[in-house]
Structure 1
Amino acid sequence: MSRHYEHPLYLAEQVREIDRRTIAADREKGLDGFDLMQLAARAAYDEIRLRWPGVQRLCVLCGAGNNAGDGYVMAALAAQGGLSVQLVALRDPRELKGDAARAAEMAESAGVDAVPWQENIALEGDVIVDALLGTGVGGEVREPYTAAIETINASDLPVLAIDIPSGLAADTGAVLGCAVVADVTVTFIADKLGLHTGQAANHAGNVVFRPLDIEAQMHQDLPPVAELLKISVIAKALPPRRRGSHKGNFGHVLVIGGAPGFGGAALLASEAAARLGAGKISLATAPEHVGASLIRTPEIMARGVRGVSDVKPLLEDASVIVIGPGLGQGAWGQGMLQAALASDKPLVVDADGLNLLATHWPEEKRDDWVLTPHPGEAARLLDSSAKKIEADRLSAIRALQRKRGGTILLKGAGTLVAGPDRVAVCPYGNPGMASGGMGDVLSGMLGALIAQGLEIEQAAQVGVILHALAADHAAFDAGERGLLAGDLASYGRFLANPGMTD
């Protein structure tokens, strides 16, 4: 039986096929593709009136094809609504075909005259509509579209993109040379993966999905490639605790990290594990860091370990092992990771734990771990480059999951979580998270969730949502700039308690 996704994400070719099938079915009802185009344009135009109610002038830039057709219909709707419209055509409307040609005729009938694109043209409007390029762009953007995109971005006017910002790859979120920076993107029929990961955070703005009464998941031979995670996963995974609970019910996290001179990361991870509700937390770290842990969080059982013989008894008592924060790549870190891999306990591997896997355990694969690389670490694990990883994050995380097993969490804007059968995308987080220690906090949170009985993949999904939302709440209270990793633990605790966020 196929799985139902609450918010499915698709590739561009899948959406085009759903579009084609819908039009074919509608013809039997006396409808056609132009009717669907008008529905899309109406949805986008309504979003403009909702978001910018005082708009008097609209500037619409149209290319060719159906994306341009949506723009021409919007121009007609705006003129019929009493707005002043500047319609800039990068392709002569007389050269358009099919539904796009009908849309251009509709704009002309509404009294909107298209003016040809010129590089020195002044864009005149309270809001710009980007109807230049749709989801079918295959390679890098070329002239005159490059110049048009640069002009839009230099205008300092609010921008609404139709379906996808021109120049942003619908499947990957990569920028194809240059891309429109939109304030709002209204996308239709089925939501696209590329609007939620990669560079989408810098270009798509607020993504508004309008299905146009089309149920994409009815096409079971076109399964979604990912799903967009919702806040609701938290309450489903973390119900209220029973009154008679005790600490033994909620697992024992062992954090291994903090090689000599690198104690901070492991302290952050262990404190995050405590705040997320694990019953007990032990920290195995270099002896010189024990005092700092006792002062910072005395609830954590910090143990100084000099070698493998010191850590083995701690491994036996743990429910889950978090290894990597501040681990280092020297003999101490290698010995700690070797001992953790030899245990039969589920693992969360981060930071130098990942680097050591790449260099010393290139063939290690297991089902009971979560690997949490950023693009650079993923590149080392795949013998690739961070640039290639970012160019196609979906392909990269799938390849890494096939190679290493378990659950993979590819960090970055639009963090991806991949298990054996599905990929999920985290839509939360903010630029304030671009600071040291954030990954260490995430690792501790993941360990706490696994300790409390969540399945590995579920823990990764819930953990990434809690982590990103904690950062969003912290930024809301005090701003993004200056946000510290240590700020997240208390917010994570708040979010992890059902009813507190109602």
Structure 2
Amino acid sequence: MMRALTTDQAYELDRRASADFNIPGESLMGNAGLAVASFISKQPFDQKVKSIAVVAGKGNNGGDGFSTALELNKLNFDVSVFSIYKHEKLSNDSLIFFKKCRDAQIRIVEGSKPPISESFDLIVDAILGIGFSGQLRNEVSEWVEWINLNSSILCCDVPTGLNSSSGLVSTSTVKATHTITMGFPKLGLCIEPGKSFSGKTESVDIGFPKIEDELHGIDWRLIDSNFVDQIIKPMDSTTNKYAQGKVLVLAGSKGMTGAAFLSSMGALRSGAGLVKVFAPESLSEIYEKKITEGITVSCEDEGEGYFQVKNFEIIMDQVEWADAVLIGPGLGTNKETIDLLTMIYENINKPLVVDADGLNPFYKNRDLLKKLQCVLTPHHGELSRLLSISLGELKEKMVNHMEGFASSYPSVLIAKQPSSIIVHNISGYINTSGNPGLATAGTGDVLSGMVTAFIAQGYNLVESSCISTYIHGYVADKMSKKISERGLIASDLLLEIASSMSRYES
């Protein structure tokens, strides 16, 4: 399972390579140039590359650019280096490779404007690396705009203008066709919008010591098909519907019965043997018609169409039956329902998945989370309320806030977004599947049902979260190719989820 690093972890790795293992920065920089030049020599681009412009900044990322130019020159490419700054401003290691390029009589243009009249087969972006955040200065932005006029763009480590931890991008950011990242992928390359600016990403070994597991902070990993393949086991040939997992669903209200349907079917299509669904009595007929494979448990509601405090006992009686419980999709924000949920959270002792309106009690009382064995599945708006911060603050420092939550609460947290993020204790996971087509009503309900089903089948909370998030995104990718991203709706996912399960049956 591929490791990924935050900006701080990447800096720590770089610092410890020098301080603890006596690996000089010049050596790492030289290896970086070798790796990038080797990649380019394989000609993985849409057109054959002969002429190359390397655009270099003044720091170590610029040094990687000079080192790349040196190696490309040895491979007989026609290389020009455009150093945005005069060589007097270069970092020590970068200056070493600037001088080597000069000694090799490679064309170097210092402190100039972008060469608008010149054209190249490939541009290598080596302006800014992992230290960037915020907005680019004007003198860099004009180079970024020129770089983006080209069809083949390779970035060293990260695209200029991209925050390597958050994935946020400057108004002007290099839009790469390829990114060669040093040592390990950086989180910002894996999280949108940064992922879309990074093109095809490849990690290269440049000689860092094997100490990634010793770095401070959360151990971040990428969820891919290989990871999921290693977790899911084929069904036991002697199994039965009770052994396949019993799921209990508290979802839906007047006007939002579809949430109960989608979450229940998400659970059934993910292999749950039995699904019981609570229904407000006045809506029970709708539930029974829509969720024909589920068992409906009617709750008195006096025609109001929502769950109430007086339903507590019947709900808790059924909890003992269940292997896992899902609470939240479409429950609404009525005070009676929120009070009911608070009572349930104070008393429940089963594995729990909490989605959407099920999160309402936690906004005013996060201490409820300290005793629960649960998975939370908020989108950005819900997560910002849960953490009592603005949406802008959340997006800017998503990783920091996720790490803070993981250190404070025992819950597994799935932050739903393009490239969803999962954290628990000292482990973090970035999903690699999915697309913008999932930005439509009900897809989160399907996901919550999937997570609950895998928990009921015996997978732990983290495994269930990773499995479900990946398959959910994978199915969306497949369906978007058949339909379109724009036209995808939540119910499109259900049959494809079932079909995708065939992969794990042998």
Q: Secondary structure at the match of 2:491?
A: helix
For 1:335 and 1:220, locate their aligned partners in 2 and report how far apart those are by CA, in whole Å.
44
* Deviation at residue 68 of structure 1 after TM alignment: 0.8
1:337 aligns with 2:341: yes
How far off its partner does 1:461 sit? 1.9
Instruction: State the match for 2:205 in structure 1.
Output: 211
Partner-residue secondary structure (3-state), 1:364: helix
Distance 1:275-1:410 versus aligned 2 partners, 3 A rule = same
Change (3 A) 1:146 1:258: same
Residue of structure 2 equivalent to 1:158: 152
Deviations 1:252-294 (A, max 9, x none): 1111111111111121111010000111011223345544444
Structure 2 residue 140 is the aligned partner of structure 1 residue 145: yes
- 1:450 corresponds in structure 2 to 455
Report the number of matched residues.
491
Q: Cα deviation per residue 1:412-440 (whole Å; 9 max; x = unaligned)?
A: 12211111232222122112112111111
Secondary structure at 2:93 match in 1? helix
2:244 aligned residue? 250
Q: Equivalences for 1:219-234 in 2 at 5 Å?
A: 220=214, 222=216, 225-234=219-228
2:106 aligned partner? 111
1:459 to 464, 474, 477: 464
**Residue of structure 1 aligned with 2:399, choices 386, 394, 400:** 394
Matched residues, percent identical? Answer: 27
Amino acid at match of 2:78: S
1:58 to 52, 58, 72: 52
Distance in 2, matches of 1:203 and 1:459, equals 30
Deviation by residue 1:150-181 (Cα, 9 ceiling, x = unmatched): 3333x152321100111212222233554322
CA contact (8 A) 1:321 1:340 kept: no
Structure 1 residue 118: deviation in Å? Answer: 1.6
Is 2:178 the counterpart of 1:184? yes
Higher mean displacement: 365-374 or 293-302: 293-302
Structure 2 gap ranges (5+): 302-307
**Partner of residue 261, structure 2:** 267
The TM-score normalised by the length of structure 1 is 0.89
User: Displacement of 1:203 after TM fit?
Assistant: 1.9
Q: Secondary structure at the match of 1:274?
A: helix
CA distance in 2, matches of 1:216, 1:224: 17
| Match 1:101 to one of 92, 95, 100 | 95
Match of 1:286 among 280, 286, 290: 280
Q: CA shift at 1:376, angstroms?
A: 0.9
Render the CA deviation track for 1:10-56: whole Å, top value 9, x for unaligned. Answer: 233433343344456786xxx85333322212222333344216123
Which shifted more, 34-43 or 254-263? 34-43
Q: Does 2:244 correspond to 1:240?
A: no
Aligned to 1:348: 353
Which whole-Å deviations, capped at 9, do the CAs of 1:116-143 have from their partners, x for residues lacking one? 4326735622222111101123554223
Structure 1 residues 336 and 118 mapped into 2: Cα distance closer, same or farther (>3 Å)?
same
Residue 27 (structure 2) pairs with residue 35 (structure 1): yes
1:363 paired residue number? 367
Counterpart of 1:165 in structure 2: which amino acid?
P
Per-residue Cα deviation, 1:290-347 (whole angstroms, up to 9, x for no partner): 4444444411123443344354443332222111111100145325524532332221
What code does the residue aligned with 1:175 have? V
CA distance in structure 2 between the partners assigned to 1:433 and 1:215 by the alignment: 39
Stretch of structure 1 that moved more, 489-498 or 462-471: 489-498
Q: What is the aligned-residue RMSD (CA, Å)?
A: 2.7
Cα gap change, 1:40 to 1:447, in 2 (>3 Å): same
Q: Counterpart in 1 of 2:319?
A: 315
Is the Cα contact below 8 Å between 2:287 and 2:296 reproduced in 1?
Answer: yes
Q: Which amino acid aligns with 1:234?
A: V
Shifted more, 333-342 versus 318-327: the winner is 333-342
Structure 1 residue 408 displacement after superposition: 0.9
Deviates more, 1:436-445 or 1:53-62: 53-62
Shift of 1:221: 5.4
**1:240 and 1:498 in contact (8 A); partners too:** no
User: Which residue of structure 1 aligns with residue 500 of structure 2?
Assistant: 495
Q: In 1, Cα distance between the equivalents of 2:342 and 2:63?
A: 60
Larger CA deviation: 110-119 vs 325-334: 110-119
| d(CA) in 2 for partners of 1:71, 1:380 | 43
Residues in 2 aligned to 1:244 and 1:199: alpha-carbon distance in whole angstroms: 46
Classify the secondary structure of the residue corresponding to 1:250.
coil
Change (3 A) 1:353 1:223: closer
